[in-house]
Amino acid sequence: MNGVGTMAQAQRRDLAPIPDGARQRAVRMRDGTLLATDVYLPPGQGPFRTLISRLPYDKDGTEFFMPDIARYWVAAGYAVVVQDVRGKARSAGEFQPLTQDVDDGYDTIDWVIAQDWALDRVAMIGDSAAGLSQWAAAASKHPALVAISPRCCGFERFDVMYDGGVFALDSSVYWAAETAIDEYLYDYPGPFDWDIRPVRDVVTQAVGNPRPKWIDEWATLESAHQPSLPDIRPELACLHLCGMFDFVASSQADAWNLASASGRGDHYLVLDAVDHSWAPLTRAGRTRGAEGMRAFLDRYNQPIREFLDAVFERNTAALPRVRWRPYADAEWRTETTWPPAASTEATYWALVGPGRAPALKTQAPDSTTVVSWTHDPESPVPSKSIPFHHLTLPPDFVDLPGRSDVATFVAEPLTAPLTLVGQATAECTLRSSSESTHLFARLFDVDPGGSWFEIAFGRRAARGPWPRDVTVRLSPLGYEVARGHRLAVVMSSSLFPRFALDQGTDGNSWHEWSPRPAIQEVAIGGPGGLRLKVRVWCDEREG
Amino acid sequence: LKGFQPDPTATKAPTDLAARRTYNELRRRIVTGQLAQGDIVNEVAMAAELKVSRTPMREVFRELLSEGLLVGDGPRRQVRVRSVSPDLLDEMFDVRLALEPLAAQAATTNASAEDVDALRLITARLADATKSRETPRFLDVDEEYHVALAHIARATVTEDFLRRLRALTRLALVTSSPSARLMLRTHDSRSDLTVAVAEADASAATAAVVNYLELARTWIRSHRNT
């Protein structure tokens, strides 16, 4: 048992004081509910370009540094409005997480444009839940909302939770335990005890009774979920900001794919080498302390500022449609499409043979066989990383090849650097001894020293009759694999606690626990043989 | 768990944050009766139980002693949870009745539009807690109102006194948890006070505060079960 014995670990966070420079107002929604709303104004009379952010994390707290972010924008001449969503922190009303933001977004915009310091055109900023609240406000079709810049999110919550049909367990649990108990935020001094079964009791032990009711609903969603673009105004400008190491990156890629192909809205994409918390993958290391905070705010806000300046100046013609970079301290690479037009598809085939280690080759195998493993729900493959902070302390998966419940395929060391772009897929014919199962595919960069760094992942729920063809779509890539490094693909049937456990029966492991081991078989060679399809960037500057 | 990580080295909570969290936890135990009035509270044992070092725990004890929720007495200077006697209760409400009307009157003079909005927001949350009959939440939000009003009065000494008196009132309520009807009437008197501050009506503000305090005193007197 981790943590503090039988005592609930949840510790209520104090509401942060209203920061210097902010004026808190009570903004009335259409049903009379008052929402706590900070206003930050630049010097002068205005009217100013105004940015709105609506979030459930305490508008004045340090979790998302909204006071610091507001100060950045005020220095750039923008007014900033930051609001606690309904039922959170200082806002009144009942909190129904991530579901009330269409009307509240509309009414907040209405209030903002009625102020004498605001222009009649506004934009929105914010990450994660504050990104979802932007899509919700966009769905309200308020005519004064001219631009949104959602970061680290899909269109709505189930896009992230049920990508591939497999419930994103630890991220949803952590989110609910921190955010969805009541109007306050909660901290946890110790780790959650993920050995407890059924899994719902992990939350009960950490939070105490009652569990946030939302997490039960989320964990047991019955129907399959497919993302869909909200009904937005055709002229709305949208900057999609995606961290390639973010656990929601696949959902954000879906959002980009659907939105940019829809003809509704004017869409731009930024793909950066960061995780959900915007921690970077860099070549030069990270600057820490106060200087690090300044560097962070510049790096974090700069693409949005270019976008918003252009939108407010009605001059978006020069904006690059797509920007990406393999390191967060590299120059941006601009494209007109994603994946870049200057890229080609490559296929790596999984290969096994007598007396040889499983391999990954660019030539298809000339014989067929199967590779199999036993999925034991009582001893799942550990996911190791904290979903929100993949790059803060990146785990080393060096122990993966030794596990008997995964299938690992490693390519030869690269003789030249290779830059992977777009979304890779792992495709195969699958057979399971269970009626249904999960299939996880992960792509690794294995360095010459033997460290395994996860660069992309994907998941897919599958159900018989077997055999059947399964495609697992991996998270977006813009990653440079160095010379001498090797690519590796790892297939498994669990990745816990990152994702819900399939227990080899139809029962949901959230509420009940009756585990049954299952044999999984993946075809090698032939038309259904396991293969990784990737896109390789061709740097036109190098010819 | 989530949130930005601009400085990955800052993984350990600073001492003041640890002290704040420990303070919140210990105060919660006292005002919910988990630690009963008169119970001995040992600094070393509590530090071990809450998994914090002695330094933040010492700070927490100092703050709770200053608030009056803990008292140091006895031959060995044992620290106990304060017991609220009927005499102390009477004295406490007498002092509050002397001070809080002054604060309310000052608030009607000093309150900015933002101050009035802060009271409106707390009043609205108080209405939510009343509606859902969540007593601890109601008491927490009512305490926020109390602190906000004292702050808006811009009277530093009064604010300091009122903070301390509020803690003792909370302690008195451990053994006389408010009914739904009392919560509703309390909310109504807070709502009246918010309107009075918004309209800069000093006499209405005074009447609302006196009404609120008399309600609380009568309730606690008649429902004490110790």
A512 dihedral zone (left: phi>0; alpha: psi -120 to 50; beta)? beta
Quick check: B226 and B85 in contact, CB under 8 A?
Answer: no
C-beta of residue B153 within 8 angstroms of C-beta of residue B111? no
The conformational region for residue A17 under phi > 0 = left, psi -120 to 50 = alpha, else beta, is beta
| Residue A152 clears pLDDT 80, i.e. is over it | yes
The number of beta carbons lying within 10 Å of the beta carbon of residue B133 is 12
Beta-bridge partner residues of A422? A477
Q: Which of residues 115-154 of B touch A (CB under 8 A)?
A: 117-118, 120-122, 124-125, 127-128, 137
- Give yes or no for B9 touching A (CB within 8 A): yes
Q: What angle do CA A520, A521, A524 make, to 5 degrees?
A: 150
CB of B7 less than 8 A from some CB of A: yes
B16 touches chain A (CB under 8 A): no
CA atoms within 13 A on the CB side of A379: 9
A15: CB partners within 8 A, 6+ apart: A58, A60, A61, A89, A90, A184
For residue B115, give how far its alpha carbon lies from the nearest alpha carbon of chain A (Å).
8
pLDDT at residue A382, as a whole number: 96
> Is B21 near chain A, with CB under 8 Å?
yes
ipTM: 0.91
Closest CA–CA distance from residue B113 to any residue of chain A (Å)? 8
Compare CB distances from B124 to A92, A174, A293 and report the shortest one's residue: A92
Q: Residue A390 corresponds to which amino acid?
A: H
Phi/psi region, residue A82 (left: phi>0; alpha: psi -120 to 50; beta: rest), is: beta
Contacts of A388 in chain B (CB under 8 A): 1-3
DSSP structural state of residue A335: E
Nearest chain B residue to A286 by CA: give it.
Answer: B7
d(CA B52, CA A280): 32
Highest mean pLDDT among A78-87, B135-144, B147-156: A78-87
pLDDT at residue A416 greater than cutoff 90: yes
B12 in A contact zone (CB under 8 Å): no
User: Residue B150 and residue B152: Cα distance in Å, rounded?
Assistant: 6
Cross-strand partners of B72: B79
Distance from the Cα of A368 to chain B's closest Cα (Å) equals 45
Q: What is the rounded distance in angstroms from the CA atom of residue A184 to the CA atom of residue B209?
A: 27
Looking at residue A355, its pLDDT comes to: 79
Instruction: Please give the single-letter amino acid code of residue A385.
Output: S
More confident residue, A2 or A35: A35
Question: Is the pLDDT assigned to residue A67 strictly greater than 60?
Answer: yes
Residue-wise pLDDT tens digits, B155-204: 888 888 888 888 888 888 887 888 999 999 999 999 999 999 999 999 99
Chain A residue whose CA is closest to B11: A392
| pLDDT single digits (tens) A134-148 | 999 999 999 999 999
Q: What is the mean pLDDT of residues A390-410?
A: 92
Mean of pLDDT values over A238-255: 97
A394 pLDDT tier (thresholds 50, 70, 90): confident
Q: Which of B128, B172, B198, B114 is nearest to A89 (CA)?
A: B128
Q: Nearest by CB to B8, from A33, A178, A279: name it.
A: A279
- Alpha carbon dihedral A381, A387, A390, A394, in 10-degree steps, equals -40
Amino acid B225: pLDDT: 53
- Cα of A46 to nearest chain B Cα, Å: 20
Q: List beta partners, residue A158.
A: none
DSSP structure class, residue A93:
S
Question: Measured between CB atoms, which of A25, A128, A386 is closest to B114?
Answer: A25
- Percent of chain A whose predicted confidence (pLDDT) is above 90: 82
Cβ pair B8:A93 closer than 8 A: no
Kindly tell me if the per-residue pLDDT of A281 is higher than 60. yes
pTM exceeds 0.90: yes
Q: Which residue has the tokens 């040992």?
A: B42
Task: Give CA–CA dist A482/A376, Å, rounded.
Answer: 35
State the pairing for strand pair A266-272/A333-335: unpaired
Give the CA radius of gyration of chain A.
24
Residue among B1, B4, B50 minimizing CB distance to A178: B1
Interchain proximity A11–B121, CB inside 8 Å: no
Buried/exposed code over A44-79 (b: 16+ C-beta within 10 A; e: otherwise):
eebebbbbbbbbbbbbbbebbbbbbbbbbbbeeebb
Query: What tokens does A57 get?
Result: 């994390």
Cα distance from B125 to chain A (closest Cα, Å)?
5
Q: What's residue A252's pLDDT?
A: 96
Is B2 close to A174, i.e. CB distance below 8 A?
yes
Query: Closest by alpha carbon to A508, among A50, A131, A199?
Result: A199
Q: What is the DSSP string of B117-134?
A: HHHHHHHHHHHHHHHHT-
Which is more confident, B98 or A354? B98
Would the pLDDT of A1 be above 70? no
Mean pLDDT of B18-28: 86
Is the CB of B51 inside 8 Å of chain A's CB atoms?
yes
